[in-house]
Amino acid sequence: MIFKDMMPGFDLFQPAQLQDALGLLDRFGKDGWKLAGGNDSLSWFKERAKRPKAVIDLSGIPGLVGVRETADGVEIGAMTTLSALESDPLITARYRVLAEAAGRVASPQIRNSGTIGGNLAQHARCWYYRSGLPCNRAGGNTCFAEGPDSINREHALFDSSRCLAVNPSDIAPALVALDAKLVLVSSKAERVVDTDAFFVGPKIDVTSLNCIRPEELLVAIRLPKDWAGAHFYFEKVADREVWDFPLVNVAAALVITNGVIERARIACGAVSAVPKRLRAVEDVVKGKPANAETAKLAGQAATRGARPLTYNGFKVPLMANLVMRALREAKA
């Protein structure tokens, strides 16, 4: 008999220095679990779907919390809470789209403990995967969400090879729109990756939604000053106003001069295994006036290539309308 809601045993480590945490990751490898806010981790443990030998609590490490101005923009510690981001004066003044995205995550209680790094690194929410079925993501040889009778209302419209689970993060599309860089550190090296490279689809690695290696920690997120003070828009549609994951969300950053869109970065979440950057939309709107006609063109371009499933066809017009609103209502 399998008992649920009872966590299996593990060793808990609470390092006080970054190097100590990295040493533990070297020691335990794939058997180590990085604990940030813990909101998602504890559900994995209680369901016994994940059984790490060691849990490494990152909350006591100095330097992983806070928002700092740099010569190139702003750097955010990966353990900074979502509620802190939502109200931070630097973020709200210069990168408002990120503050708005943070404010739409889950509930106030979860935002008080949930971190930006944890929100970015969270795993797939697909119930077939989380219930323990041997799907492709779990090491099996099928995707249970793909059949005509599957429950796939929340699943992907795009890039559905091998797995239809979507990236559930509200923060991720905002960081794609801001062209953020993510700093990954191991005991041997540091690497800085673009958001486009950080999130990976099932064609690259069906077992993960991101490129973090077992021996690495996400320690910081860097926002370039190129997009500071742009025209921004964020919107999330979910079944409930709080404590829910997106059906579709959109984040947009536009540089508008004399009424003309000079450049744009736009991304949607919950429509693909990665935050879906809408490059076709960016190309369509570049050099065009910021008006209703351009917004209509953007909406039409947004859903090209979508492959709706049995129960998620509503996402296609929803996504198109969100992109239209983003172009029509973005504000500095």
The whole-model pTM stands at 0.96
pLDDT tens, N- to C-terminus, the chain (332 residues): 455 567 789 999 999 999 999 999 999 999 999 999 999 888 888 776 788 999 999 999 999 999 999 999 999 999 999 999 999 999 999 999 999 999 999 999 999 999 999 999 999 999 999 888 999 999 999 999 998 999 999 999 998 889 999 999 999 999 999 999 999 999 999 999 999 899 999 999 999 999 999 999 999 999 999 999 999 999 999 999 888 999 999 999 999 999 999 999 999 999 999 999 999 999 999 999 999 999 999 999 999 999 999 999 999 999 999 999 999 999 99
- Give the CATH number of domain 67-121+166-329; options: 3.40.350.10, 3.40.1690.10, 3.30.390.50, 3.40.50.970: 3.30.390.50
**Interior angle at CA 222, CA 159 and CA 191, nearest 5:** 75
Residues shown for the chain = 332
> What's the rounded Cα separation, in Å, for the pair 87 and 64?
18
Residue 327: exposure state from Cβ atoms within 10 A (0-12, 13-18, ≥19):
buried
- Give the CATH number of domain 11-59; options: 3.30.930.10, 3.30.43.10, 3.40.50.1000, 3.40.50.460: 3.30.43.10
Strands 217-224 and 181-185: what pairing?
Answer: antiparallel
**Which residues, 6 or more positions from 209, have their beta carbon under 8 angstroms from its beta carbon?**
121, 122, 123, 124, 167, 199, 200, 273, 274
Please name the amino acid found at residue 147: G
Residues of the chain with CATH 3.30.43.10: 11-59
